[in-house]
């Protein structure tokens, strides 16, 4: 039976190969997964032109996935360096990579990325449009904007971030100047600028059906962007953010009518006490569609450490229903991240995702931790290091400070609680002073 998208197949009762792969990874029944996809609660971003994709599911009841941002810009346009970052992201088991390229040979880089990566690929086409046509944002035509969208889909991109919810009605609330940071979304600011300077409606909102036809043709998923996400704690959960979210919920239903898979993007900067309520609000207003969050960053005063502030927020968000975490690096708000920044950001985000999966009771999530605990109880250092999320760093620490006794470390030495409990429970004598 013919189908266009994973949602179309699911609604026709077809269990596709990507569904079988995801069901196996998630340790769940393929038919149950199909039902969740049919209902829009789970998506499998899978462009028919991404031929080497190793598919992943995003949504209710599945492991929390993470995304890594990279790409070439005018100030940092080294394609080889960005490809090295791609390989690092894949080595560190990121499930998705977003190409945010906005300068130079973007298509060349994008095609290399799709060809190399088994992880799902996302892009923000409006970033690319300005550089591709070498025009000011106000001079882009509607047709040119949609031509870039179609080009990204042709190249094999699995999901697109589209800021369709920032319409003229919501833009009026931005003009009221009640925010400290106005719009901090790059894509949102570009669409706002285009609307203001042309005195027209957001083309992605006005011609949303045209966008859906393109996505349907290639099997591409929509990541409905949060152009009004809060850029500081003060702006969180305000009228701009909530009104855009309501619009995204309406667009979600329109996308589902065309069998186009959707996830919703969310905040942003937000105090910890607001995160749970925001997760509940998104799921309610957007009909249970998967939720993709940037952070949330839980304090505004830690530049250089925002991989930590966002991991705190990401863990809370995912434990309360967020399905997909976008990594944040120590370089956030400061510069384009380098390779080391990327690694710190990926590991911090993976910690947040895994901690949330344990809290949510995702099948098998605790197995890894239990294996580590058994190795620790046995003082089996090699197994502990092998099981570590990032084996390289703890191995380096271990080797940098050699203990007197191999079954201890230089923190406690012979006073190691685990070592002494193992010895006394097995009937051995404990000698601490010799």
Q: Which residues are annotated as a binding site for substrate?
A: 69, 98, 127, 163, 185-187, 226-229, 265, 292
Binding residue positions for Zn(2+): 269, 333
* Strand partners of residue 68: 97
Angle between helices 168-175 and 186-198 (to 10 degrees): 100
Whose CA is closest to 264, among 231, 291, 242? 291
Give me the DSSP letters along 373-419. Answer: HHHHHTT-HHHHHHHSSSTHHHHHHHHHS--SSTTS-TTTGGG-HHH
Say which DSSP state 261 is in. Answer: -
Antiparallel, parallel or unpaired: β 65-70 and 42-43? unpaired
DSSP 275-294: HHHHHHHHHHHTTT--EEEE
Distance CA 122, CA 223 (A): 9
Chain CA centroid to CA 339, Å: 18
Alpha carbon of 246 to those of 172, 228, 240, 314: distances in Å? Answer: 15, 12, 10, 22
Whole-angstrom distance, CA of residue 45 vs CA of residue 225: 16
Bond preceding residue 104 cis, omega within 30 of 0? no
Q: What is the DSSP letter of 91?
A: H
CA-based angle 52:53:55, to the nearest 5? 150
Question: 179: Cβ–Cβ under 8 A, 6 or more apart, which residues?
Answer: 231, 234, 235, 238, 240
Are the beta carbons of 294 and 267 closer than 8 angstroms?
A: yes
What is the Cα–Cα distance from 405 to 401, expressed in whole angstroms? 12
Q: What residue numbers does the annotated binding site cover?
A: 69, 98, 127, 163, 185-187, 226-229, 265, 269, 292, 333, 409, 412, 416
Residue 162, helix vs strand vs coil: strand
The binding site for [4Fe-4S] cluster consists of: 409, 412, 416
- Partners of 264 in the β-ladder: 224, 291
């Amino acid at each position: 039976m013919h189908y266009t998208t994973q949602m179309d197949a699911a609604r026709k009762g077809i269990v596709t190969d990507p569904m079988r792969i995801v069901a196996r990874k998630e340790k769940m029944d393929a038919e149950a997964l199909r039902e969740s996809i049919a209902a829009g609660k789970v998506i499998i971003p899978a462009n028919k032109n991404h031929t080497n994709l190793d598919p992943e599911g995003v949504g209710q009841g599945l492991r929390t996935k993470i995304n890594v941002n990279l790409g070439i810009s005018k100030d940092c346009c080294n394609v080889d360096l960005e490809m090295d970052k791609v390989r690092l992201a894949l080595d560190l088991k990121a499930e998705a990579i977003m190409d945010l390229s906005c300068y130079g040979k973007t298509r060349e880089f994008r095609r290399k990325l799709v060809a190399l990566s088994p992880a799902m690929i996302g892009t923000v086409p409006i970033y690319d449009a300005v550089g591709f046509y070498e025009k000011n944002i106000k001079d882009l035509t509607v047709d040119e904007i949609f031509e870039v969208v179609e080009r990204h889909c042709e190249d094999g991109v699995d999901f697109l971030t589209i800021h369709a919810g920032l319409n003229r009605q919501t833009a009026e609330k931005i003009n009221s100047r009640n925010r400290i940071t106005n719009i901090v979304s790059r894509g949102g600011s570009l669409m706002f600028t285009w609307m203001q300077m042309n005195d027209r409606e957001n083309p992605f909102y006005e011609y949303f059906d045209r966008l859906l036809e393109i996505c349907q043709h290639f099997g591409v998923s929509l990541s409905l962007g949060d152009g009004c996400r809060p850029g500081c704690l003060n702006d969180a959960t305000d009228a701009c953010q909530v009104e855009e979210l309501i619009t995204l919920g309406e667009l979600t239903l329109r996308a589902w009518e065309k069998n186009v898979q959707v996830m919703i993007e969310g905040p942003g900067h937000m105090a910890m006490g607001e995160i749970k309520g925001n997760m509940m609000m998104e799921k309610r207003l957007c009909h249970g569609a998967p939720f993709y969050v940037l952070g949330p960053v839980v304090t505004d005063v830690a530049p250089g450490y925002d991989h930590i502030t966002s991991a705190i927020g990401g863990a809370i968000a995912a434990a309360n229903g967020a399905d997909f975490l976008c990594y944040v690096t120590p370089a956030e708000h400061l510069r384009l991240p380098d390779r080391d920044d990327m690694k710190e950001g990926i590991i911090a985000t993976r910690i947040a995702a895994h901690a949330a999966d344990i809290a949510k009771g995702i099948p098998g999530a605790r197995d890894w931790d239990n294996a580590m605990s058994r190795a620790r109880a046995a003082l089996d250092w090699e197994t502990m290091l092998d099981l570590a999320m990032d084996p390289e760093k703890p191995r380096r620490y271990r080797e940098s400070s050699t203990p007197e006794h191999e079954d201890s470390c230089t923190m406690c030495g012979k006073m190691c609680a685990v070592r002494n409990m193992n010895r006394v429970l097995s009937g051995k004598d404990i000698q601490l002073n010799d």
